[in-house]
Amino acid sequence: MENYRILITRPEPENSVTCNTLSSIGLSPVSLPMLEIQALQGEDEEAKIRSQIFNIDEFHYVIFVSKNAARYAAEWLDTCWPMLPEKIHWIGIGQGTTNALIREGIPALSNPGHTSEALLDWLKPVKMSGQKVLIVRGVGGRTELGDKLKEKGAKISYLSLYERKKPEYHAQTFFMLPDINLIWVTSGENLSNLSEYVSQYKPEWKALPILTPSLRVNQQAINMGWINASCADGADDNSLLKATEFYIGK
């Protein structure tokens, strides 16, 4: 297993955590983040965020779409709310996001699945009419969750705390990488950035097994020409490791 190399494309700081986890169990992670996460900065942006955080007690539900959303929101909540407001349903999409919230002292719940679609399915029996929902995310995130909750009568607001950027790599970066046995991607945007670089510098990688976090991203991978894409049913390390066992055993 020590020579089984897995390309890890998470953004930092999650990338380093995953690489350490894989190394500890005898696998050989190769780090190549395909997203950069940057907190929104500037007086205007920060004033807007601060205003929304101070008014967070107006919401019945606060939904966090990622661990980055949880991490940045926790920092703002610590600054603006020495004690968390009560009567809010804090929800993390996926267990990893929920665990990140709990570690920060936010009593979050999680749906059994790992995606926005799974959360919507989980909320089907819940009466959302007239409920105020705040979705915490990055700039330009998907709107499907908010759109579907609006159809159920919810009043949707968004709180954007960070932006995602494509890292800058050159041909030399890819030429110096060791041979790869398997690739992990954890989001559609992550996959898109990787695919652009692979098409330019490593087209042979399109034949490698690649693990995706959801059926939606898996179909996206197939449409982009990845001929050996499989769905791990989750972006967390445990889900991806479970799916990886199949390839290690081959």
Cis status, amide bond into 13, omega within 30 of 0: yes
Closest by alpha carbon to 26, among 207, 186, 244? 244
Beta pairing, strands 28-31 & 229-231? unpaired
Are residue 75 and residue 145 in the same domain, yes or no?
A: yes
Tokens 């990338």 correspond to what residue? 15
Are residue 62 and residue 82 in the same domain, yes or no?
A: yes
Task: Name the domain boundary from 136, 164, 192.
Answer: 164
Q: How far is CA 76 from CA 30, 52, 73, 153, 205, in A?
A: 33, 10, 5, 28, 41
Are residue 63 and residue 96 in the same domain, yes or no?
A: yes
Are residue 157 and residue 182 in the same domain, yes or no?
A: no
Are residue 214 and residue 237 in the same domain, yes or no?
A: yes
CATH number, domain containing residue 191: 3.40.50.10090
Are residue 58 and residue 160 in the same domain, yes or no?
A: yes
Query: CA-to-CA distance for 193 and 100, rounded, in angstroms?
Result: 26
Task: Name the domain boundary from 110, 133, 164.
Answer: 164
Are residue 172 and residue 154 in the same domain, yes or no?
A: no
Are residue 60 and residue 135 in the same domain, yes or no?
A: yes
Local confidence pLDDT in tens for the 250 residues of the chain: 668 999 999 999 899 999 999 999 999 999 999 999 999 999 999 999 999 999 999 999 999 998 999 999 999 999 999 999 989 999 998 888 899 999 999 999 877 777 777 788 888 878 899 999 999 999 987 888 999 999 999 999 999 999 999 999 999 999 999 999 999 999 999 999 999 999 999 999 999 999 999 999 999 999 999 999 999 988 889 899 999 998 887 5
Q: What is the pLDDT of residue 2?
A: 62
Rounded to the nearest 10°, the torsion over CA 71, 106, 133, 70 is: 10
Q: What is the pLDDT of residue 3?
A: 81
Are residue 99 and residue 147 in the same domain, yes or no?
A: yes
Length of the chain: 250
Are residue 42 and residue 14 in the same domain, yes or no?
A: no
Are residue 51 and residue 138 in the same domain, yes or no?
A: yes
Are residue 89 and residue 150 in the same domain, yes or no?
A: yes
**Domain span holding position 91:** 38-164
The number of distinct structural domains making up the chain is: 2
Task: Name the domain boundary from 132, 164, 196.
Answer: 164
